[in-house]
Amino acid sequence: PRTFRIAAVPGDGIGPEVVAAGRRVLDALAAETGAFALEWTEFPWGCDHYARTGRMMDADGVRALRGFDAVYFGAVGRPDVPDHISLWGLRLAICQGLDQWANIRPVRFPPGVTGPLRRDDTAELDWVVVRENSEGEYAGLGGRNLAARGPGSEVAVQTSLFTEAGCERIIRFAFELARTRSRPKVTCVTKSNAQQYGMVLWDEVFARVAAQYPDVESDSGLVDAMAARFVLNPEELSVVVASNLHADILSDLGSALTGSLGLAASANLDPERRAPSMFEPVHGSAPDIAGRGTANPLGAIGSAALMLDHLGLAKEAARLDGAVAAATGAGVLPADLGGTATTEEVTAAVIDRL
Ligand code: NAD
Ligand code: MN
Domain boundary residue among 202, 229, 257? 257
Q: Is 131 in the same domain as 253?
A: yes
Q: Is 216 in the same domain as 293?
A: no
Calculate the CA dihedral of residues 89, 92, 94, 95 and round it to 10 degrees: 180
Quick check: 354 pLDDT over 90? yes
Q: Report which of 70, 66, 50 is spatially closest to residue 58, judged by C-alpha positions.
A: 50
270 is catalytic: no
Q: Is 219 in the same domain as 234?
A: yes
Q: Is 61 in the same domain as 132?
A: no
Residue type, 285: S
Q: Annotated catalytic residue: which of 72, 138, 213, 336?
A: 138
Q: What is the pLDDT of residue 122?
A: 65
Determine which of 25-29, 99-103, 105-109, 191-195 has the lowest per-residue pLDDT on average.
Answer: 105-109
- The residue range of the domain holding 55 is 1-103+264-354
pLDDT in tens, 120-170: 666 678 899 999 999 999 999 999 987 777 888 888 999 999 999 999 999
Q: What is the pLDDT of residue 259?
A: 84
Q: Is residue 97 part of a domain?
A: yes
Confidence of residue 342 (pLDDT cuts 50, 70, 90): very high
Q: Is 170 in the same domain as 99?
A: no
Determine which of 57-61, 81-85, 120-124, 330-334 has the lowest per-residue pLDDT on average.
Answer: 120-124
Q: Is 99 in the same domain as 131?
A: no
User: Count of H helices and E strands in the chain?
Assistant: 12, 12
- Prediction ipTM score: 0.98
Rounded CA-CA distance 20/36 in Å is 19
Q: Is 139 in the same domain as 232?
A: yes
pLDDT in tens, 70-99: 999 999 999 999 999 999 999 999 999 999
**Residues framing ligand 1 (Cβ under 6 A):** 14, 18, 75-77, 83, 87, 91, 261-262, 280, 283-289, 295-296, 299, 336
Q: Is residue 113 part of a domain?
A: no
Q: Is residue 135 within 8 Å of residue 199, measured between CB atoms?
A: no
Q: Is residue 118 part of a domain?
A: no
pTM equals: 0.95
Domain tally, the chain? 2
Domain containing residue 352: CATH number: 3.40.718.10
DSSP lists the bridge partners of residue 222 as 190
Q: Is residue 108 part of a domain?
A: no
Quick check: 185 pLDDT over 90? yes
Q: Is residue 242 part of a domain?
A: yes
Give me ligand 2 centre to Cα 287, in Å: 15
**Alpha carbon separation from 267 to 72, 301, 331 (Å, rounded):** 10, 12, 27
Q: Is residue 111 part of a domain?
A: no
